[in-house]
Amino acid sequence: MQPTFGAQVMGPEWTRFSLWAPSAHRVDVEIEGLEPVPMTHMGDGHFVGEAACEHGARYRYRTFLGDAPDGITVPDPAARAQDGGIDGPSVVVDPYRHAWRHSDWRGRPWHETVLYELHIGAWGGLDGVRQRLPYLARLGVTAIELMPVAEFPGNRNWGYDGVLPYAVASSYGRPEDLKALVDEAHGLGLMVFLDVVYNHFGPDGNYLPRYAESFFQQDRHTPWGPAIDFRHPMVRRFFLDNALMWLEEYYLDGLRFDAVHAIYERDFLDELAETLRTRIDANRHIHLVLENEHNDADLLEEGRFTAQWNDDWHNVMHVLLTGEREGYYVDFADNPVEGLTRCLSEGFIFQGQPTRGGQPRGTPSAHLPPTAFVAFLQNHDQTGNRALGERLTRLAEPGALQAATVLLLLSPMVPLLFMGEEWASTQPFLFFTDHREELARAVREGRRAEFAEFSAFQDPVMRESIPDPNAADTFEASRPDFDAQEEPSHAKWLAFVQHLLTIRQAEVVPRLDGASALGAEALGLDAVVARWCMNDGSHLVIAVNLGDRPAATSAFGVGRCLYETHEGVAVSAESGSLPARSAAVWLRPEPGDEELSA
């Protein structure tokens, strides 16, 4: 890859530097131990310079602006590493120094995917994650999804405040540590996905507005500030090159694109998918996953993006499990079981209907395969964006949560587990940062103000109990307690999840590629039955009752029971009554003509 941005090692002791700085009239690259090197303006704000340095050299750019005649020093926005975080110098990195031990790895097909989302810092950095890869392989997941690694301010952050999207956060480790993690994961048969943020930059350490003002749109804003201006070809190239870097230099198996609904230029997403599909070796399995509140089914057509995080699935399940109906759960509170049946039958719940704000959301999705949707009961957003970071183990009845987990892990949608979910962790996962004083105060006060409309936090005293994101204790409270797995109740849940994943790999995955939904029906107020036609003609049937009363059933037919939450559930359901807080799964190799009905 020939990058347009950053430092490129050209040979022994020779590096080319490239910066897009359309607001500057002059740029020098300042390399430690050498005289400043004036860069040549190549036109359109693009500056290039070369110097006698190599891998490991430390450097900064000095950009000369109309209001800064002596210049201001800035990090390289495309640096692959920083020495000491956002305030330290950028580091020249030769991306091809790593000797890959598993260079023949080509990935795994998407239908084999079971995602496990984790926060690198909470696991002790890249080396901490690498040490626990064998555990994840034994668990039965097939892919780890890393929350963002882009360099951010301070030593702890969710990663969504990144300001240097090419650089591996120095508090996590070095670029070679990430490559070592990916290499070892591949040796264990695990794919590695990375969450990337192309919709905004963090509030501290982003110097781009000074020397590249046209990088942003002043007339359009996102929740994080002025929108990135994807109308400009160089802005597009900056992010296209970034995506290619992760896939080509780090051999990642997939990317999850954060909140693409905050990208105003929809055609950039088309270009992104086309570029990555064209440039990456066709013999590799590369998976591109969206987070997109717009529920745009067209983006999930074959040859474009692989799948989308299905927030509709999570939201309606959360309402059924917890009874919560505030905030965005309002949209899912009216007859949630009907919403769930639509989700299981067609993918999205919102396919053009108006939300609580009156705006239509979504497009028809029934034609898409179930694997076009990533399902989850918990993730970093849905847990960490709660005021107190509670997990479902604190919010839902255990039997109902067990039944919901059966639906999550054995339905044809691609499941995602959030770290600790596999042993029913009761620890919170909180929102944490490490900002400087004034910004830290603003974030703390702003976060508490966000929850003022919620009934539990209308009292100012209660709002003061919301943990301070900037406090070190907030981060420490969010780190997984792996020793808790040894406690009997957690060990039992861990064995339960492992068993379900074993069933998924043995019974569901071989039949999944080409599967299609056959429909779902409500069984009262809290229960549903759904079925899918698998690629061998068999029917997968899942019945789930999240309520505290039995649900009437009829015409289930008889199939091979793959799993039931406790003995007798399947027989009882086949006989006309699905017990309270239970689930059962059947496989019917030779389906008859019976219809599932209440």
- As annotated, the active-site residues are 258, 291
- Contact between 86 and 152 under an 8 Å Cβ cutoff? The reply is yes
* Cα 408 from Cα 101, distance rounded (Å): 34
3-class secondary-structure state, position 181: helix
* Cα 281 from Cα 308, distance rounded (Å): 23
3-class secondary-structure state, position 415: strand
For the chain, helix (H) and strand (E) counts, in that order, are 15, 28
* Cα 123 from Cα 171, distance rounded (Å): 12
Output the six-digit token pair for 262: 């905050």
Q: Compute the 3-state secondary structure of the chain and give helix, strand, coil in percent, each to the nearest 5.
A: 35, 25, 45
- Which of 249, 348, 212 has the alpha carbon at shortest distance from 8? 249
* Cα 575 from Cα 176, distance rounded (Å): 59
| CA distances, 388 to each of 238, 316, 330, 465 (Å) | 37, 21, 20, 9
- Which of 324, 334, 311, 337 has the alpha carbon at shortest distance from 547? 337
DSSP 50: E
* Cα 492 from Cα 565, distance rounded (Å): 13
- Which of 118, 149, 150, 114 has the alpha carbon at shortest distance from 131? 118
Radius of gyration from C-alpha coordinates of the chain:
25
3-class secondary-structure state, position 68: strand
- Contact between 193 and 306 under an 8 Å Cβ cutoff? The reply is no
